[in-house]
Amino acid sequence: MTIPSCSIVLADDHELVRAGIRSILETFPSVRVQAEAGDGKEALDLVRRLEPDVLLLDITLPGLNGLEVADRIRKLGLGTRVLMLSMHSGPEYVARGIQSGAAGYLVKDSAVDELAAALESVLAGRRYLSEALDREVIQGFLRSGESALDELAVLTPRQREILQLIAEGSSTREIAERLHVSVKTVETHRAQLMSRLGIHDVPGLVRFAIRTGMITTES
């Protein structure tokens, strides 16, 4: 197995996890880790600026989750291949990752050899699914078309970003400061997303965010 020469951006919100993954990647002679990110917005900014060959991306990221990052990269038409690396092995997460534009999905307890195989596959333009995943069930999710992405499609990217921050417990003022907008703008987006989703309180938004995989109960 030979991994082609490639550049990688690594995105995970746990510094120790990033350090461990980076140390593994650095054992591959042809792989160069360009940069690391601890949240989704930083990961997206790095991809836009550096245009790496691969973004190794966790799903559960603060501010902007990995599914949203992958979807935005797909819509931007960048050449970066997204390889999801997640603790979540449920078929709904995998299906959403693929629908968001990920070229591969690897669970975090995979062997080092499988990481190498996944990189080789996505760099060659092939899809890679971790050996631990049930491919038939995942294909069923993909064929059904009944995904959480369909539910989120009614929201603008900014509304999805605000929804995630609300679900993570950020106040209106904290969201405004983070996004560099006014409190009134955040309140307007919140009212619009509640109207579009038919949800009228914050606990309901949190439940929706958990059900659609924007955040997890472990976040």
User: Between these two residues, 191 and 92, which has the higher pLDDT value?
Assistant: 191
* Domain annotation for the chain: domains and CATH numbers: 6-144 (3.40.50.2300), 154-211 (1.10.10.10)
Contact 43, 197 (CB under 8 A): no
Asked if 144 and 158 count as a contact pair (C-beta separation under 8 A), the reply is no
Q: pLDDT digits over 120-150, tens only?
A: 999 999 989 887 666 665 665 565 555 555 6
Give me the mean pLDDT over the 177-193 stretch.
91
- The pLDDT tens digits of the residues spanning 34-51 come to 999 999 999 999 999 999
Average pLDDT over residues 192-216: 84
Tokens for 144? 């059904």
Distance from C-alpha of 130 to C-alpha of 115, rounded to nearest angstrom: 9
* Residue range 149-164: mean pLDDT, rounded: 80
- Of the pLDDT bands very low, low, confident and very high (cuts 50, 70, 90), residue 21 is very high
Distance, CA of 45 to CA of 28 (rounded, Å):
25
Alpha helices for the chain (secondary structure H): 15-25, 40-50, 66-76, 91-99, 112-123, 135-144, 148-152, 157-167, 172-179, 183-197, 202-211
Provide the whole-model pTM.
Answer: 0.72
